[in-house]
Amino acid sequence: MKSQPRNNMQAPHIEALYRQHADELRQYLARQLGCRHLAEDLCQDVFVRLQSQQDLIAIHEPRAWLYRVARHLVIDHYRREGARPACIGLDDPALCLACPRATPEHVSDARQSLERIRLLLTQLPEHLRNALLWHRIDGLAQRVIGQRLGVSESMAGRYIRQAEESLLARHAITGANA
């Protein structure tokens, strides 16, 4: 079926509709899409479709027609987006191509760190070492630690703090020499 030649009398009518409705249509599309640039593209598509209409006189409510076409273009846009595979950023952890096992260097570093911590712990006085290990490893409350050591709860807290400060200070010294 051949299309009929364009009626040059329709161009001023389309231009008037564009001036009258383009801004509000663009705002509507931007709200629907959440993207001003895409809204501008679809708004232009609406008026291209209007221009391709054979008989503008048959459109009784031009504003409603423009919004209906715009709504259909939004629906088509979201359908295309849904059919398209999702883009995954290269920094996505799910795409990690590295081996999940530790490298020999990491294993060696971890062993050296553990040995350094074990050595530092043996250098602590027994009551500080026990208070820290019971608190950090066993998860005991200061009250229970105080009972085990025969001291008050606040003194058990001081022991834990002293042990942590001592380890940090010694680690800083030995870490610089390691």
Per-residue pLDDT at 166 exceeds 60 = yes
pLDDT tens, position by position, 84-142? 666 656 666 666 666 667 788 989 999 998 898 899 899 999 999 999 999 999 999 99
Residue 37 lies in a domain: yes
Residue 43 lies in a domain: yes
14 with 79, same domain: the answer is: yes
Q: Are 119 and 133 in contact (CB under 8 A)?
A: no
> What is the domain range of residue 27?
10-83
The predicted pLDDT at position 89 comes to: 61
Has residue 4 got a pLDDT over 90? no
CATH code of residue 122: 1.10.10.10
Which DSSP letter does residue 133 get? H
Give the model's pLDDT for residue 57: 67
CATH number of the domain to which 23 belongs: 1.10.1740
- Asked whether residue 25 is domain-assigned, the answer is yes
Q: What is the pLDDT of residue 95?
A: 61
Q: What is the Cα–Cα distance from 35 to 49, expressed in whole angstroms?
A: 21
| Rounded Cα gap, residues 56 and 2, in angstroms | 18
Is 50 exceeded by the pLDDT of residue 2? no
Report the pLDDT value the prediction gives residue 58, as an integer from 0 to 100.
73
The average pLDDT across 22-45 equals 92
Instruction: Output the CA angle 121-108-111, nearest 5 degrees.
Output: 20
75 and 18 inside one domain: yes
Number of folded domains that form the chain: 2
Q: Which pLDDT does position 131 carry in this prediction?
A: 95
Tell me the pLDDT of the chain averaged across its residues. 83
Residues 73 and 19 in one domain: yes
